Structure formats: C-alpha cells, structure tokens
Amino acid sequence: MVTEMMVLLAKVVFIFALCIGAVPFCVWFERRGSAWMQGRLGPNRLGPFGLFQLVADMIKFFFKESFIPQNSHKFLYLLAPAIALVPPMAAIASIPFCSEIHLVNLNVGVLLILAFTGLEIYPIILSGWASNNKYSMLGALRASSQLISYEISMSMALLSMLLVYGTFDLTEIIRYQQEHHWGVLLNPLAALIFWVATYAETNRLPFDLAEGDSEIVAGYHLEYGAMKFAIFFMSEYVAMIMVSAFLVTLFFGGYALLPGMSWVVSASGKAFLLPVFELFSFFLKVAFFMFLFVWVRWSLPRFRFDQLMHLGWNILFPLSLANLLLMGAVAYFLR
C-alpha cells in the first residue's frame, strides 16, 4: 500500500514537473522559433542558445512590483490567477503518458478532460470582470463566446470518434488505435475539426481575440503584472500541452509507438524499454503539435471576430454535424 502510494506520488511529481518544466522551453521555442521564421535571431545572448533568457525572465517576474488596481474586485482579482493552472493540470492527470504512467485511469476519461477544458474559461472570466477595465471585460467576453462556439464542434468531432472507438476510456482508445489504425486515418475530417477547435480553446493565433493586442491592448490579463501575469502565461502553455496531448491520444495513437520503434524494442528483447519508447513517442507527437502551434501563429493572421464566429457556426458546426451523422451511419452498418 505504502509502496503503491510512493509510486503514484512519484508519477504525479514526474508528470507535473514535466508539464511545468516544459513551459519555459515552449516559451523559449516560441520566441526563437518566431525569430527564425522571420529571419531574426531571437534571444541568443544569455547562456547556450539563449536558454538562460528564461531564467532572467523568471527573475524579473518575481521581482516586479505586484500591484492591485484600485477599483478592482480584490478577491476575484487575486482568485483568477490562483485557479488559472488548475483546469489544464487536472485534465493532464487523466491522459496516459505511457502504458505505465497513467495517473487517473477512469473509464470516462474523455468526459473528465472535456469537463476541465470547459472550466478553463473561469479564470479568464474572473480576471476580466474583477479587473474593472473595459478592455479586460471585452477580452473575457470574447474568450467565453469563442469557447462556446468551438466547444460544440470539438465535442461533435470527438463524439464521431467515440462512435468508432466505442469507449470513453482513453487507454482503450489507444489500444483500439494500436490494433487498427490511428484515428486520423479513420476520420481525417474529425481530426481537422478537432485540431482547429483546439486553437480556439487555447486562445492561440489565429484565434487570439481574447488578447487582441491591436484592439483591446492585452485583453483579460491587461491589469495583471509580475507573477500574476506569469501564472496566466504558464496556464496558456500548460493548456496547449494538454490539448496537444488530448489530440494525440484521440487521433494519433497516444503513446502508441512510432513506426520502427516496435522493431527496436522486440529486437532488444528488453521489456522495460517499451514504456520508455512509448513515453518518447508520446513526447515526440506532442512536441510536433506544439511546433504546429508556433508555426501556425507566425503563418496565419488573426481573424476578425465576425469571421471567427462565421467559421465556428457556419462552417465547422455543420461540418462536424454532417461528420457525426456520417460516422453514425458507417458505425451502424459496419457493426
């Protein structure tokens, strides 16, 4: 019992440390990657490849003045960053990282993740409201309407896949994909819809209207500085990691080994290598989608809000509905 607890604790620490520790590298890659895409250099002065820039940034965040706007709602203003990290971290807990590391093995894991991604809007709404600033409020409202619009398409794309997999259990879903094909090959349209929706979920470009620097300055976190801002910043990256991991699990086989790896494992004949390679494949897949986040950001311009709504309701929603009906029919007749 104690050993089990210790192992579980070690797993918890490992996953959380991995996610939080990945954030600075994501930020570093965001900055240097954007620089490379624009023919610039990016931060390259501190340490090897400019990696210590992150340390400098963190030190700065720690030592900046932490102020509270005079006419804000003090409690909610402080509550918003305090809970910002909770939903993405909680959602990550139910994603299997490899066959050995799966913190919360629920048979309704998909629903849990959906529930927590829905909660992600709360810190944003709270901060927008509590800041008592029109730009923050506008940013929060934009974020919430955007979340609702895209959550529907996202859920329906997900639903179409659940018809195929026939389970809510993420481990089962991965096993199904290992045995048959990756979800993306079974239903590429659902994968595309889901992928687009993740950008809206995380308020990333081209859907970063909640921040919309050109119109509403910085949106919901306009009135936040120092560590409070840093937490919002971190939660955005943790959310990105989380949705990438979810996307990988649903459509790209989760921790299923990449082609060629199974041969290496069986050739070596060492069983303990399997979870290591599984973790490695999972990491590579997630990293690819993290790269896509950066790539998309610097390739596509931001949508106007009406265009965002048009895309969400007039295109993605009917498309995902049609996809759901089609998959339902296919699943019914093939069973």
Partner 1 sequence: MSTGNIKTTNVSRPYTWKERLYLLTIPKGFLVTLRYFIRGFFLRKSNTISYPEERRNYSERFRGMHFISLDENKLENCTACYLCQTVCPAKCITITAEERDPKENPVGVAKEKRPKAFDIDALRCCFCGMCEEACPKDAIKMSRNYELAVHTREMAMYDLKHLSREVKNRG
**Interface ranges with partner 1 (CB under 8 A):** 33, 35-41, 295-296, 298-300
Q: Shortest Cβ distance from residue 44 to partner 1 (Å)?
A: 9
Phi then psi dihedrals of residue 39, to 5 deg? 75, 20
For partner 1, the closer CB: 128 or 312: 312
Q: Shortest Cβ distance from residue 5 to partner 1 (Å)?
A: 44
For partner 1, the closer CB: 42 or 96: 42
For partner 1, the closer CB: 52 or 291: 291
Using CA atoms, how far apart are residues 131 and 133, in angstroms rounded to an integer?
5
Q: Shortest Cβ distance from residue 117 to partner 1 (Å)?
A: 26
Whether a cis peptide bond, with omega within 30° of 0, leads into 87 is no
For partner 1, the closer CB: 82 or 315: 315
Using left for φ > 0, alpha for ψ between -120 and 50, and beta otherwise, residue 179 falls in alpha
Using CA atoms, how far apart are residues 128 and 120, in angstroms rounded to an integer?
13
Helical pair 53-63 and 2-37, crossing angle rounded to 10 deg: 110
Identity of the residue numbered 285: K
Instruction: Catalogue the long-range contacts made by 7-13 (C-beta closer than 8 Å, 24 or more residues apart).
Output: 8/103, 11/101, 11/103, 12/93, 12/103
Q: Shortest Cβ distance from residue 40 to partner 1 (Å)?
A: 5
Q: Shortest Cβ distance from residue 323 to partner 1 (Å)?
A: 18
Phi then psi dihedrals of residue 102, to 5 deg? -150, 105
Tokens at 119, concatenated: 């909660």
For partner 1, the closer CB: 163 or 196: 196
What SS3 class is residue 269?
coil
* Tokens 């089962």 sit on residue: 172
Q: Shortest Cβ distance from residue 37 to partner 1 (Å)?
A: 4
For partner 1, the closer CB: 44 or 99: 44
For partner 1, the closer CB: 78 or 296: 296
For partner 1, the closer CB: 41 or 325: 41
Question: Within 166-219, where are the H helices?
Answer: 170-179, 183-186, 188-201, 213-216
Identity of the residue numbered 151: E
Cβ-contact 80, 123 below 8 angstroms: yes
Q: Shortest Cβ distance from residue 29 to partner 1 (Å)?
A: 10
Q: Shortest Cβ distance from residue 138 to partner 1 (Å)?
A: 28
